[in-house]
Every structure is written in C-alpha cells, then in structure tokens.
Amino acid sequence: MRLPKTSSLGIRLPFLRAPALPGLGPGPMTRLLGVALTAAFWALTLAAFAIALAFLFTIFLPLGPLGLTVTAGDEGTSVPVPRAYILFALGAIVAYLGGFAFILRNLRAMVHTLRIGDPFHPDNVRRLKQIGLTLAVVTGGAWIGQTLVSRLVRGALEPPSLFDLVTPAFSVLVVFVLAQVFREGARLRRESELTI
C-alpha cells in the first residue's frame, strides 16, 4: 500500500540523524574471541589427549569388570561394567572432545582470516561445512551414547528424547546456511579481486 506523500515541514532533528557507522573491521571482540578459542582449543585437546592415554593404558592393563554404582534418588543400582564398555566409553569421550577440538581449530582459523581482514576466504566455506558435519556427528553420537547408557542402567537413567536433538539440529542448519552465505561472499570477493 502506498502512503500519500506529504510535504516536508522543513524541520531537521539532528539527533535522529543516522549515526556514523562504528569502526568496521576486526575489533576487540575479535581479539577476545581469538584468545577464548585458543584457550578452549588447547584445554579440549589436552583433555582428549589425556583420555586417549587412559584408553591406551586400559587396553594393556588387565582390568576386570568394574562395578559402577549408578544412584537415582535414594536407591542405587550397581551395574557391572565390562572392560569393553569402559574402552568404548573412553573412546567415545575422546571422539567427543576431539570433535569439539576440531571445531575450535576451524573456528580459530576463521577468526584469523577475520583479523587479517579477509573473512570471505574460500577456505572458510570448507571450514564451515566441516564444522556443521562434525557438530552433527558429535551431537548425534552423544545422543546415541546416552540412549545406550540409559538402556544399560534401565530404570535408573532417563533415556534422552528426540526433542533433545532439536537444538543441535537447528545449530547444524544454521552453520550450513552460513557456509552458503560465505560461499557467495567468497564469489563476491573473487569478483572484487578481479575488478581493476
């Protein structure tokens, strides 16, 4: 619907002027992100490495089934956990931490391109796709793991519901959409480079 044109009253309200754009480009938030990502990456990497060592030790050490006690409320359910399950659990934790460390590694690389003023580098498209895939695998794997554990200690732990996958699924979708946006950005960057 077109609104009728009105004549200007000739009044200018200076405080309604469009504000000057703040300094564009990498700023303190980018640096903070870089530091936070680096700290998180190394923390996860070291944790994954430590658990991987524990996994290797468990392979070679003669361990019998561990009797783990899972407590729900006042009662506790004692569940014998065979060595294979322990190995599987350790492996799953290494994969979980390693997956997030991989995501953080890609995010660090992307923040680096942001700091050098080249965020639409073509490599960032690949990195975002890798982040999306890794997120899907890690969160899906964690959900499956929780389902298996809840079946192992049936009655003591609630199995996860499908609704628990909604937020991770949306996150994965957002990442893949961003990958397409960055793909278009990389194309525009290329066009800009070849504009003399």
Partner 1 sequence: MAIRVQLDRILLERRMSLTELADRVGVTLANLSILKTGKARAIRFTTLDALCRELDCQPGDLLVWTPGPQDLGSDEDPDGNDPGSK
Binding site for partner 1 (CB under 8 A): 122, 183, 186-187, 190-191, 194-196
Closest CA to 165 of 193, 137, 196: 137
Given the complex with partner 1, which of 20 and 194 has the nearer CB atom?
Answer: 194
CB of 59 to partner 1, least distance (A): 44
Given the complex with partner 1, which of 7 and 192 has the nearer CB atom?
Answer: 192
Tokens of 194: 């070849």
CB of 114 to partner 1, least distance (A): 20
Torsion of CA 133, 136, 139, 142, to 10 degrees: -80
3-state class (DSSP) for residue 67: strand
Answer for the pair 145, 92: CB distance below 8 angstroms, yes or no: yes
In angstroms, the CA 141 to CA 147 distance is: 10
Tokens of 161: 């519901």
CB of 190 to partner 1, least distance (A): 6
CB of 15 to partner 1, least distance (A): 36
Given the complex with partner 1, which of 98 and 132 has the nearer CB atom?
Answer: 132
Given the complex with partner 1, which of 115 and 183 has the nearer CB atom?
Answer: 183
CB of 110 to partner 1, least distance (A): 18
Answer for the pair 30, 112: CB distance below 8 angstroms, yes or no: no
Given the complex with partner 1, which of 93 and 125 has the nearer CB atom?
Answer: 125
Beta-bridge partner residues of 67: 80
Give the pairing of strands 66-72 and 75-81: antiparallel
